[in-house]
Each structure stands twice: as structure tokens, then as C-alpha cells.
Copies of this chain bind each other. A is one copy, B any other.
Amino acid sequence: MQNDLVISLDGMGGDHAPQIVVEGAHLSRQKYPQASFIIFGDENKIRPLIKKYPDLESVMEVRHTADRITSEDKPSIALRNGRNSSMRLAIDAVGRGEAQCVVSAGNTGALMAMAKFVLKVLPGITRPAIATYLPTKVAGHGTVMLDLGANVACDPKNLLEFGVLGGVFSRDILKIAVPRIGLLNIGSESVKGHETVREAAELFTAASHLPGKYIGFVEGNDIGAGTVDVIVTDGFTGNVVLKAIEGTAKLLASLVKQAFQSSLLMKIGFVLCLPGILVALPAFIALKKRVDPRSYNGAGLMGLKGLCIKSHGGTDGIGFANAIGVAAEMVLIHFNEKVAQAIESIGMGAAPAAVEPEEIMP
């Protein structure tokens, strides 16, 4: 049972489901050949797709439902009326212990609301958070950032808990021996920022046995600089910043494209560059892979008793396979057991789980 790896899949979530879900599962088995899947959704659409990948036939169980959550559904409505949706059934499978992690490319707010309702919050954690990792200047080094939108407002203790969750992810999955944990702020001096972030800094400073080392306040430009391994912030700031980073990358790509198309001379210049580009193709491909958003697909809904991964809604099979990869790693390193140990050693004890997280999410 230790090495069991059963992933529950929302077969109908996201812009290109169920194609990307089935293809992603197929691709993920290159790295995780022991993985098996339970996929929830419209079997008339899913079964023909599975036929294309014979390796899946024996390891993917289809459970039919015609019901699905759309990207427009409000979390509260999804929670009330979505009991037979592919998303909810996929979460239920983790709740019952049939699968060890659920992966969905569907509505983030609905996924968080349902996952919280079904799976419940881990002892010692007040609020779950959404976390992802982002590329940095340092090769092979990703920075974990959380919360990305589960909680629009956070108190200092929430932020400390996010630090523990992110620290365990960085240490045990990204294999950073002692993750450097920073609090996102508008300056590095202790007087900077609002009360919540300053009080959180006191909690981090006082906490012993963190899964990492608290290094103080960090700023927006530290995210890509690789000066820190875990960046802790509230869900409002985290969500806006994550989208601003994505927007900036798109902007720069668009400006380069515009420049190449700007004039006949530039087009001729580009053609003259082709031999050089061909010679250097492997390095170009490596660069492209390094900045490819699909390489960073798979945000963890952390702090719940069951594991749940959110994939970008617009990703393709390769991106979805990466989200399954994050799920597989979290299962294989026993993420929640590591979090429980971290919470115990930091002496946060069992927090009152009564606080109801916000329902509003990106």
C-alpha cells in the first residue's frame, strides 16, 4: 500500500476536457508507471479517448456522470447543486480513500469549496491555501508561492501556517535542504508594511523548528530572483501578483514577436538568423521549456486532509501530465504526514478549525 498511486481525475474540468485529462494521464505514466486512475465524467466521450492509449485501458477506471461544474458556477452554488458533478465525485473518491489525490482543471473556487467540505482541514491548519512554484534565475530552482487566492484576507497565524505548508513542499518535493521562507512586503525593513504582515513576521521569528529558515521580508522582485524558496502572502496579493507575472511574460513575448514582424528588414534579419537558430536549437528548446507555463502547471490546495491539485483550465495534455506529476510527488512523499510532523514540531498544536475560509476565489 505504501507505493500505491491512485489518482482521481475530474474528467470534465477545464477548457479542453476530457481530451487533455486522458492524454495527461497517459503522458504521466512515463514517469510514474505505477500510477492508476479513476476518471469521472461522460463515458461516451472518455472511452473513445482511452482507446487511443492502450496502456491506459487496464489502469484507468471510468465512472460515468453527465453532470459538470462550469467556470461560471459560484462556489456556493457548486457546493449545493454539484453533488453528482465530475469534480465532486472525483473529490469524494479521495475522501473515501479510493484514491490518494484528485486533479482537476475546473473552476478553482468550486474546487476549493468542495475539497474543503469533503476533505476537511488538517489539524493545526486554520485555512487551506493554494500554492504553486515559479521559475527563478537559478537553474533548477523554483520558488513556492502561497496563498494564490483561497483567502482574500489573512491573519498573521494564517500566514505562519502557509509558511509551514510551503516549507514542507519546498523541502520534501523540491528537495531544498533548508528552505528560505520570506514574507512578501513592500520593503525589507521591519517597520515596512501593514500590521498583519508585521505581526506575522514576529510569529515567524519566534517559531522554532520551522520546515526551513525564516529570512524576513522579501519584495516583488525577489520572486524571480531565486533569493528565497518560499514566499508567503495573502490570497489577494498572491493572486494579483501571479497574474501580473504571467501578464508580463506574455507582454514581453508579444513585444519580441511584434519587433520581428515590424519591418521587411527585420523579417530578412530573421531569415538570416535561421542557420544560427538551427545550430543552437537544443538550447532554444531548453529555454522554451524553462519558461513554459506548462512546466509549472499544478497548484496544490494545501492544508486539507486529502490531496487536491488544480491544473490551469486552458492547459494541454503535457501541462495536465505535469499537474498529475505534482499530485504523484505529493502522494509519494506523504505530504500530509510531513505537514503533520512539521506542525507538531513547531508546536502550533490543533488549531480551532471553526474559522470558515472565504468562498471567493479566482
Contact = CB atoms under 8 A, between A and B. Distances in A.
Interface in A329-362: 360-362
A86 interface: no
Interface core residue of A187, A221, A282 (most chain B CB under 10 Å): A221
A235 B187 CA distance: 12
Given A243-B219, A291-B252, A235 B186 contact: yes
Contact of A250 (B139, B224, B246, B256): B224
A96 interface: no
A247 B220 CA distance: 7
A184 interface: yes
A48 B312 CA distance: 59
A227 to B, nearest CB: 10
Given A241-B220, A268-B280, A280-B266, A137 B255 contact: yes
Contact of A246 (B186, B220, B272): B220
A177 interface: no
B291 A263 contact: no
A117 interface: no
Contacts of A260: 280, 283
Main secondary structure of the interface of A (DSSP, over half): helix
A284 interface: yes
A66 interface: no
A286 interface: yes
A222 to B, nearest CB: 7
Interface stretch (A189-197, A206-214, A319-327): A189-197
A282 B281 CA distance: 25
A290 interface: yes
A275 B254 CA distance: 24
Contact of A237 (B135, B149, B237, B254): B237
A187 B249 CA distance: 20
A77 B185 CA distance: 22
Contacts of A241: 220, 240-241, 244
A272 B276 contact: yes
A182 B64 CA distance: 43
A113 to B, nearest CB: 13
A176 B241 CA distance: 26
Contacts of A74: 191
Contacts of A239: 186, 219-220
Given A152-B193, A193-B360, A186 B240 contact: yes
Interface string A278-297: 11111110110011000000
A248 interface: yes
B254 A186 contact: no
Contact of A269 (B233, B243, B279): B279
Nearest to A274: B276
Contacts of A139: 258
A153 B237 CA distance: 13
A360 B237 contact: no
A311 interface: no
The 9 lowest CB-CB distance pairs between A and B, nearest first, are A269-B280, A220-B243, A272-B276, A224-B251, A221-B247, A220-B244, A273-B276, A259-B287, A266-B283
Interface of A: 74, 135-137, 139, 149, 152-153, 184-187, 191-194, 219-225, 233, 235-237, 239-252, 254-256, 258-260, 262-263, 265-266, 268-284, 286-287, 290-291, 360-362
